[in-house]
Amino acid sequence: MIDYKKVLEINKYLIANHATIEEICKEFNISRRTAQAYCGKYLDQYVQESNNPEIKQLQEQVKLIKKNNESATHFEKVDISLQEIINYIIDFKTTIEYASLKFGVSVSTIKKYIATIKQENSDLYQKYILSKENRTQISNSVGEKNGKRESKHSEFEALEIAETMISNSLTLEEASKLFCIPTSTIYEILNRIDDDDLQKELYQLYQSNKSNMHKTI
């Protein structure tokens, strides 16, 4: 299900700040694809389902601001320090490999910096180690709700995983290594995405990966 509360939150932020897609990405720590979905088709769907004049008015404001910001919505590499990258990894319990893709910094550069802070910033290093241990526990954590398996991974995480897989033509196994999440859990998370267009892209990716695998055998 689409989180309409989050749809409102993001679009109200866009209106209040006349924010570009890139600024929304940074504010909510989401990918460009995810930001565009929340400010586009998810908002459109909310308007249709709610039949609320206030939501319709909000949609018109968003469209106007997006049109005005159109020239500024091209993807730009994030300007960020290595320490900020480590803090990002810690705060969002992600992997070095994913941070490398997100910020355009090589894995080896990030690992060298981690080796440096082990000696020069022990507090930050210990936070990183603790985050790494917690991430392993969380990635395998699945709860029970109403007799059904409930993933501990958010809708944002699901969209981030899907976007990263599609953008980089990753297999489930490669995504599993990148996010430190079991392959079966990755598959389960992706199946819960309520976005037909994104599901079609994922299906095409699965088929492409399957075809490439047969070619190499």
Dump pLDDT digits (tens) for 128-169. Answer: 998 887 766 655 554 444 344 445 566 777 888 888 888 888
- pLDDT tier at 8, thresholds 50, 70, 90: very high
Least confident range from 21-30, 60-69, 197-206: namely: 60-69
**Whether the predicted pLDDT of 76 surpasses 60:** no
> What pLDDT shows up at residue 126?
92
Residue type, 180: C
- pLDDT tier at 111, thresholds 50, 70, 90: confident
Residues 6+ apart with CB under 8 A from 3: 155
Instruction: Label residues 152-190 b or e (16+ Cβ within 10 Å = b).
Output: ebebbbbbbbbbbbeeeebbbebbbebbbbeeebbebbb
Kindly state the tokens that stand for 192.
Answer: 């819960």
> What pLDDT shows up at residue 146?
38
Q: What is the mean pLDDT of the chain?
A: 79
Least confident range from 25-39, 89-103, 130-144, 191-205: namely: 130-144
Say how far apart CA 182 and CA 14 lie, in whole Å: 35
> What pLDDT shows up at residue 73?
34
> What pLDDT shows up at residue 6?
92
Q: What is the mean pLDDT of residues 170-199?
A: 83
Q: 32-52: per-residue pLDDT in tens?
A: 888 888 999 899 999 999 989
